[in-house]
Structure 1
């Protein structure tokens, strides 16, 4: 069963230990580029995930939002489904049975068939939708809304089952955007930066800060938007990362800085 998370130091938790951990500075890391691949420079990337040999990408912008499936081996787009206008697409994630897709300010999550991408259900939620990922062992989805809060949701019903505030060195961290769950860790893009955070969602603590700057050349950067897109590559310690309107996707590892 999923456990409702609390703020570090709340009564009923390992408060003293968590409060101490929350004060520790995060590990400093950087990206090590292993391979550079093409990315659709028209894609306003909001969600990025690999599941069962398929790369899924969700995009934003009114009238241009969609979710698509791409064959990892060939790079061929297999399917694409547009969101109804004027909805603005946000993060996505894939569970054993469903693909969930958020909307930004529309308060609607789409539950889809991961094979066909066809809509199965719409579920209402309050607040904004930013990033989303799935922790199967914890039996929960993890959702960001642009604040310092991560919300836990039931992967079948999308009902809220808990939440946690995120701290780094004892200070709140907001603008948490696109998410990627890897085992018991959550990776989060920080909006408007070249930083990716590694988060312990149970303790509500940032354990690593990853510098992903310098990936695009100056002339590429001039026509691109922010870093936003993390997809763990199953069976490896590598990730695909990209950004909104980026012409490239990078296969990288996160390694110690310096």
Structure 2
């Protein structure tokens, strides 16, 4: 009889404990969900719910194979944007509870909404599924994508007829490109390879493999020291120009109230990196040292005029003509020159 009572009491206490543990984890999940939009900044301390802290002997955060008991948003551990982590709560009764969470870290300073004026329009071949877009002097260099139609072309701004055109193999899907001296570097989407061409003749000089740190090849620019690439994530990848397989450093990007991913076409100008976001009518102005978005252009009206009935015809081209910006997109019939106010 006593044995049955003990078994029943143990089961009852276990049931209460399981319920309490579930309540603790639900409280932790609710807290994290409430903070995802508000986000954190570097240096902020995580203030967890009392339902968690009251029963905890120790609380730690796991980042893959790493773990810390420091509940401060430390830039040595966190990046801007979304951070996938696990809370580990060791209770005073000796149990360990785990709760997966996403911690968004935002830039401390609000980005500026940058105003502009359209000062000129130029023709653009609407057959070109644009991926990379460069201007040097009055010459446009353009990388166009899609399998069976990828190519690298050069033409004069104001015209559409190529001066030189280099068509690529049918299985190649070309992406962003960048000029470095007398060379053009070009990425491919999922072919895991990049090309280096002679800028003047478009003769292919060599190829290079894509680093495994990049899941795909998207945008590409040159900051005067390193190639800078995107792969559709929140990251800017700085590549060794002499060995593009080598990632020198990685910088995550976020604004003051928004985490960005799908960073796409890039342009480096006057100390900043400009990036469009795939399927969004905006261009970000990014501090390459920190990844903070310091400014944002809204090109909704221009984009709407060019998308028409095809959602794939997105904004996807950034170049600079002096201090003015040139923008265009996939299969757009125009290039727009923008005066920045």
TM-score (ref. length: structure 2): 0.65
Deviation at 1:51, TM superposition (A): 2.1
2:235 to 121, 124, 149: 149
Residue in 2 that maps onto 1:197: 284
Q: How many residues align?
A: 238
Could you tell me how far apart the structure 1 residues matched to 2:304 and 2:283 are?
A: 19
CA contact (8 A) 1:145 1:176 kept: yes
CA separation of 1:174/1:89 partners in 2, compared to 1, >3 Å: closer, same or farther?
A: same
More helix by share: 2
Could you tell me how far apart the structure 1 residues matched to 2:267 and 2:300 are?
A: 19
CA separation of 1:103/1:220 partners in 2, compared to 1, >3 Å: closer, same or farther?
A: closer
CA contact (8 A) 1:31 1:211 kept: no
Moved >2 Å (runs of 4+): 8-12, 71-76, 216-224
After superposition, give the CA deviation of every residue in 1:55-114 in whole Å (9 maximum; x if it has no partner). Answer: 100011111110101123765421010121211010011011310011001111101101
Residue in 2 that maps onto 1:10: 75
Residue in 2 that maps onto 1:5: none
Report the structure number with the largest CA radius of gyration.
Answer: 2
After superposition, residues 1-258 of structure 1 pair within 5 angstroms as 10-11=75-76, 22-72=107-157, 76-125=161-210, 126=212, 127-136=215-224, 139-158=225-244, 159-169=246-256, 171-215=258-302, 218=305, 221-223=308-310, 225-233=313-321, 236-255=322-341
CA separation of 1:143/1:170 partners in 2, compared to 1, >3 Å: closer, same or farther?
A: same
Residue aligned with 1:214, SS? helix
CA contact (8 A) 2:131 2:175 kept: yes
Higher relative contact order (CA 8 A, sep 6+): 1
CA separation of 1:217/1:203 partners in 2, compared to 1, >3 Å: closer, same or farther?
A: closer
Structure 2 runs not aligned, ≥5 long: 1-41, 43-73, 78-104
- RMSD between aligned alpha carbons? 2.3
TM-score (ref. length: structure 1): 0.85
